[in-house]
Amino acid sequence: MKSNNSEKWLDKSEYPFESKFIDLKNGRMHYIDEGAGEIVLFVHGTPTWSFLYRNYIKELSKTNRCIAIDNLGFGLSENQIRFDGTPQSHSNNLIEFIEKMGLHDINLVVHDFGGPIGLSAAMTHHNRISKIIMFNTWLWETKSNKDVVKIDKVINSFIGKFMYMKLNFSAKVLLKKGFYNNELLTKKLHSQYIGPFLESSSRNSTYNLAKSLLGSSDWYEKQWQNLDKVSEKKWLILWGTKDSFLTTEYLKKWRTKLPNARVVELESGHFLQEEEFDKTLAEINLFLNN
């Protein structure tokens, strides 16, 4: 069993939290658990990990219990994953985590693939969910999206696999493309996202999710149709309008589905957590305390 928790790349000054681990059916999951009070549970996407939420945790843990997981195969969790690595399997891992940790009255925070992963878990345990905070994500079928179909053909080709498994394409290239203001992605910061995937054998997690963008299309749609289980919760949507992956067309669909959600649009790329931390933190504080 191999995890990344002893790697030299980790900047503990930026990520000064106590590492905790829990054994799940599919592997050993790393998480952090800081502060006391109402629970805020952070769920990341790809190719990120709980590091993405570090600054929120530093502030919110003063008044809340902040829990952030690393999905199996990401961050400091076991990276030699022994399961298919689909979002539905990651969601089952999260469900198991919530149950084993005995979590209730959860304020759920999701982003990117963490949207399908976290929201599916929220629907399973809707009675344990209080509020939902959502950064750029989606939760509906993708097979009718021509761009996704084109991307999927590349991903499932020899070249696509080579790019992900040998060149670390997700962490080195796609993450950079997700920034609207590239100056904010310094070399030092970027190293914290590249670090978990330094070895080719640790990149199956990003490759499996890439294949699942189209491969799990029917599952996404099933979750979308079941969203009414949590649609009456209080929602905060924080959306980067300069996201080249998930455009404002995605936001329009969320607005239609969740007409009572508070929506805040910011001139940011895919990673608002890095580009618009101060503004999003202020919105989250207002939302949690209202």
- Tell me how many degrees the CA angle 214-111-229 measures, rounded to the nearest 5: 80
DSSP letters spanning the chain = --BSTT-TT--TTTS----EEEEETTEEEEEEEESSSSEEEEE--SS--GGGGHHHHHHHTTTSEEEEE--TTSTTSB-S--S---HHHHHHHHHHHHHHHT--SEEEEE-TTHHHHHHHHHHHTGGGEEEEEE-S---S--TT-HHHHHHHHHHTSHHHHHHHHTS-HIIIIIHHHT-SSGGGS-HHHHHHHHGGG-SGGG-HHHHHHHHHHHHTHHHHHHHHHTGGGTTTSEEEEEEETT-SSS-HHHHHHHHHH-TTSEEEEES--S-HHHHSHHHHHHHHHHHHH-
Backbone angles phi, psi at 113, to 5 degrees: -60, -20
* Contact assessment for residue 72 and residue 24, using Cβ atoms and an 8 Å cutoff: yes
Other CB atoms within 10 A of residue 166 CB: 10
CATH fold for the domain made of 20-289: Rossmann fold (3.40.50)
pLDDT tens, position by position, 151-207: 999 999 999 999 999 999 999 999 999 999 999 999 999 999 999 999 999 999 999
Residue 81, pLDDT score: 82
When pLDDT is cut at 50, 70 and 90, the band that residue 6 belongs to is low
The pLDDT tens digits for 62-102 are 999 999 999 999 999 999 888 999 999 999 999 999 999 99
* pTM for the model: 0.97
The whole-number average pLDDT for the span 279-283 is 98
Contacts of 268 (CB under 8 A, 6+ apart): 180, 181, 240, 241, 242, 243, 275, 276
For 166, phi then psi, to 5°, come to -105, -35
Per residue in 194-238, pLDDT (tens digit) is 999 999 999 999 999 999 999 999 999 999 999 999 999 999 999
